[in-house]
Amino acid sequence: MTNGITPEYWAGLLAVILTVAFLGVYAAGKVRTADDFALAGRSSGVLMVMGTIVGTAVGASSTVGTAQLAFKTGISAWWFCLGCCIGFIIMGFLYVKPLYFSRQTTVSQFLGLAYNQGAGVMASVFSALGIFFSAAASALVLMPMLAACFSLSMEGGLAVTFILIVLYVAFGGAWATGLVGIFKAGLLYLVLGVCFFAALKSAGGLSPVLAGFPSVPWFTLFPDGFFTNLAAGASTVIGVMSTQTYIQGMCSAKNERAARFGMFFSGLFTLISALPAIWIGLFMRSLHPDIAPIDALPLFIMAYLPQWFAGVSIGMLIIAAVGSAAGLILGMSTIVSSDIVSRLLPKFWQGNKLLSNRATLFAITFGILLFTYRNNDALVLDWTILSMCLRGAGVFIPLCAALFWPGLFSPRYAAAAIAGGSLSALLWRILFPSTLSPLYPGMLVSALFMAVGYWKRPDAGSAG
């Protein structure tokens, strides 16, 4: 189905990858301290904040993963990007003032101050675990794509993935995710727009393709049942609002206005990104129903676009997946370094914060890629939604309580809510994978602990 690979294709692909490598190396020159690495020196404008957040959110899940799910189920593939949009807008309205002015680097540090050290540790562990699965989802797209593009084995794809993530973020940190995110976002919307109109032209309009699909399940947001699909969207909203990387991007802003508008624009651009991918998924299902669903967008690019622009587009997909994984890994490494390494090796960490951040990032990157290599037959959005559940089920309610009702809950029960909610979601997923979304039992357990914590708070007796 694809056209033959030409030198023009390779020129387009390599031009994109080399541009990103240059931006990553350039960003490394701006990093002098651990604060520069984690938060870009808290000097980002609206564009840099948006670049960091969109560069992470609009990755494998919202491009290749969305086209994959649209190929299988239709417009319900929109839930991930729709959930991200809602989450970012709510954060812009409600999170900026309390979190931006807290001057903390991680969500775990904020919860540790609001409750106790135990709450901070629990948040560190389960936030990192949730981010792990989301970064693995990006790597799940990236490794086979690189292997196919460069005629490599899966082991070779793993090695190239590791090198690209290192070039993207390991030396430039938040500066790299912001700068490359701006470049990636601009190129991404150009490529998706061209793909949309190329498919429209090839199909002779929307109607010839859409007429071949029944309204259910293809044109409903709830093909698997109202509560099942609603949980997918709610998991994404709650997961986004509990995710270190997005809060870290918001807190890198130079002022409150930049943080707020950076979140608003991130929501808008994330929402839009899904529509061309859904259309491509449906187009490929209509004309090429026998392909593997995950190949819907890459194969469309190879078959329907000019070779030089196909190279640029495949380069964009590679960078989209790299950027998403790298941004999430940056958030995870910041949690592990600031909240775990600092406790286990306090003297080393105090004198070597930047080295600790980078070494942690290297180790986590390798661990995620090895895990993905051993589980390479999973669905991209399955891991992404599981990640959001793990991040949100335990952390979301205690975080909101600390932000909006400080001092009203027992610290001991807040720590139990974080651990209990996250563990309940994880166990439910393992024991009952085909039933109710793990978000529901996880948040129920977390809410119950917080309710008890309200009645057991230190001043509850005097208040009565």
- For the segment 276-303, the average pLDDT, to the nearest whole number, is 92
Distance CA 388, CA 395 (A): 11
Distance CA 90, CA 102 (A): 18
Tokens of 76: 């319900």
pLDDT above 60: residue 265: yes
Query: What pTM, to 2 d.p., does this model score?
Result: 0.76
What count of Cα atoms within 13 Å lies in the side-chain half-sphere of residue 124?
23
Q: What is the pLDDT of residue 286?
A: 93
pLDDT tens for 372-385 read 888 776 666 677 77
pLDDT above 60: residue 263: yes
Q: Which of residues 235 and 220 earns the better pLDDT score?
A: 220
* 172: CB partners within 8 A, 6+ apart: 23, 24, 25, 26, 27, 28, 30, 31, 37, 179
pLDDT above 60: residue 21: yes
> Given its phi and psi angles, is residue 220 left (phi above 0), alpha (psi -120 to 50 degrees) or beta?
beta
pLDDT above 50: residue 55: yes
- For the segment 456-460, the average pLDDT, to the nearest whole number, is 70
pLDDT above 70: residue 462: no
pLDDT above 90: residue 370: no
Q: What percent of the chain has pLDDT over 90?
A: 27
pLDDT tens for 158-204 read 888 888 777 666 544 444 555 666 777 788 889 999 999 999 999 98
pLDDT above 50: residue 156: yes
* pLDDT band at 74; cut points 50, 70, 90: very high
Buried-state track 207-226, b at ≥16 Cβ within 10 A, e below 16: eebbeeeeeeebeebbbeee
Domains, the chain, ordered by start: 7-379 (1.20.1730.10)
* pLDDT band at 346; cut points 50, 70, 90: confident
- Are 398 and 406 within 8 A, CB to CB? no
**Range name among 34-38, 285-289, 420-424 with the lowest pLDDT average:** 34-38
pLDDT above 80: residue 435: no
For residue 44, list its beta bridge partners.
Answer: 253
Query: What is the DSSP track for 176-210?
Result: HHHHHHHHHHHHHHHHHHHHHHHHHHHHTSSHHHH
What count of Cα atoms within 13 Å lies in the side-chain half-sphere of residue 212?
13
For residue 253, list its beta bridge partners.
Answer: 44
Nearest to 90 by CA among 454, 452, 403: 403
Distance CA 141, CA 295 (A): 10
* pLDDT band at 38; cut points 50, 70, 90: very low
351 burial (CB, 10 Å; 0-12 / 13-18 / 19+) is exposed
Query: Which DSSP category does 336 fall into?
Result: I
Q: What is the pLDDT of residue 61?
A: 66
- For the segment 33-40, the average pLDDT, to the nearest whole number, is 48
- For the segment 381-390, the average pLDDT, to the nearest whole number, is 77
